[in-house]
Amino acid sequence: MSKGRHALIRIVVVAALAAATVATTTGAAGAAGAAKKATNQWLGMRVLNQVHQGGEDEAPSNTSYAYQWGLEHGGDMIELDVHATRDGQIVAIHDDAVDRTTNGHGLVSSYTLARLRRLDAAYNFIPGRNNVAGQPAADYPFRGMRTGRTRPPAGFEPADFRIPTLQEVFDAYPDIPVNVEIKGQTAQEKLRVAKLLAQLMKTTKKRDVIVVSFDQRAVDRFHQLAPDVDLAPGVDGESGFLLGNVRPPAGTKALQLPITYQLGAIRYQVITPANVLKAHRAGYAVHVYLDDAAAENDTTYQTLTDACVDGVMTADPTRFEAFLERTGQPRSGGQGGADHCAFGTPKPLPRGCRLRVSKLVTPLESSLAVRVERWGDLRGACSGPITLTRGSGRSRVVVARGHVQAAAGRTAAVGSARLTSAGVALVRTHARLSLGAAVRATTTDVRVLALSTR
């Protein structure tokens, strides 16, 4: 969700509904009956640490580096925004234009994917301040990592600092839930993005995805084309439900709301225990986005968790995670305390240590970093040996061996693997390799991943 700039749009709708004192014969009871007939995967998952743009105050917004950072520091779910390139590719970037976050200029929709990939998506990022242009060069520690001018941190490569496609995010994190917000400069562009996103969703088996837009027309268009994907409604759907008892549009599984609406001197409190309870009783989860960086503090976090919200979209996932752990909040991975809110039934956790290789990083000398995602029961540390192979049967060659350990409560980690003599030879003679990648743990899941060696 966007911070700040969309608040006025929502306020106007809320004020209009409040003034009209809207009522409907269908009512919230009707919404409850309809919603509860279908299972809702977003209930019973609280409290989700939803890394907003990957945690845009801690890492460069909507980059692969940020998503990995956010998950390694406590994130349970990725929140991102999508636009469409000129050649119809769905990419993750917050703004309509590339100017604020990159070294480029112009609308995302004016770029082909190939041109967009060349931009440095960490160009204006300053840790703790988000994107700020015009500061001394020394303030930008990630600038130039995209181009190779500056060496990326261990475990990362230049491609991690470009604008990623949504498909790349899905491929890297098959078991991490993703919140996708449809964006676009115009109403027509949002409809185009909705159509292209629906086409993409038809090609993937990933269903721990929820799609949202401030523009209800975009949400409706997406639902028409991809009716089996979960939704959060736009402005009209949210305010209609909260103030007028109007049933949210079909496909709705969660309400994604700010803490308050501000209109002049009037502040409307949106997140209250009563409103959250109303949503839960009707069968909807409640996810909260924080409009103001000042809201990222323990007082706000405590208010939200006391109100029984299901997730918080945070720009500071490390800080939010520290609060969740310190206060023993219930978590989707089984850690934390008892859930006093008790709405929804948590999905049974697959027991044991479950790790899956998500990304192979370009080798440096005789070793390479191996990124891993973790899912299921997150209680306790989890580790296992890594094996990278090429071919099968008698032609199978071990390319690298290594090890990874994921800390308790973490959904991502980075391990390392050392090339075998056969692996060294292959890396020297091939620009790209297709490898079987596995971590032996409670289960061994082999994924075929590409390794760029240059």
Domains of the chain with CATH codes = 355-452 (2.60.40.1930)
Q: What does DSSP assign to residue 273?
A: H
Active site residues: 52, 94
Question: What are the pLDDT tens digits along the chain (454 aa)?
Answer: 655 444 434 444 444 444 333 333 344 444 444 445 458 999 988 999 999 999 999 999 999 999 999 999 999 999 999 999 999 999 999 999 999 999 999 999 999 999 999 999 999 999 999 999 999 999 999 999 999 899 999 999 999 999 999 999 999 999 999 999 999 999 999 999 999 999 999 999 999 999 999 999 999 999 999 999 999 999 888 888 988 889 999 999 999 999 988 777 888 899 999 999 999 999 999 999 987 766 899 999 999 999 999 999 999 999 999 999 999 999 988 888 888 887 766 777 888 899 999 999 999 889 999 999 998 999 999 999 999 999 998 899 999 999 999 999 999 999 999 999 999 999 999 999 999 999 988 777 889 999 998 7
pLDDT at res. 13: 45
Output phi, psi for 83, to 5 deg: -125, 175
Name the pairing type of β-strands 397-406 and 447-452: unpaired
How far CA 337 is from CA of 161, 334, 377, in Å, comes to: 37, 9, 14
Q: For residue 47, is the peptide bond before it cis, meaning its omega torsion is within 30 degrees of 0?
A: yes
pLDDT at res. 280: 95
pLDDT at res. 137: 95
Which tokens is 342 given? 């008790």
The residue type of 405 is Q
Give the DSSP per-residue string, 212-225.
Answer: E-S-HHHHHHHHHH
Quick one: which of 122, 186, 125, 196 has its CA closest to 165? 196
The residue type of 67 is Y
pLDDT at res. 18: 43
Quick one: which of 315, 441, 318, 327 has its CA closest to 377? 441
How far apart are the C-alpha atoms of 142 and 154, rounded to whole Å? 13
Residue 84: which region, alpha, beta or left (left: phi > 0; alpha: psi -120 to 50)? beta
- CA 276 vs. chain centroid, Å, equals 22
Which tokens is 74 given? 């406590």
Provide the CB-side half-sphere exposure for 173 (13 A, CA).
Answer: 26
- Residue 25: is it exposed, middle or buried by C-beta count within 10 angstroms (0-12/13-18/19+)? exposed
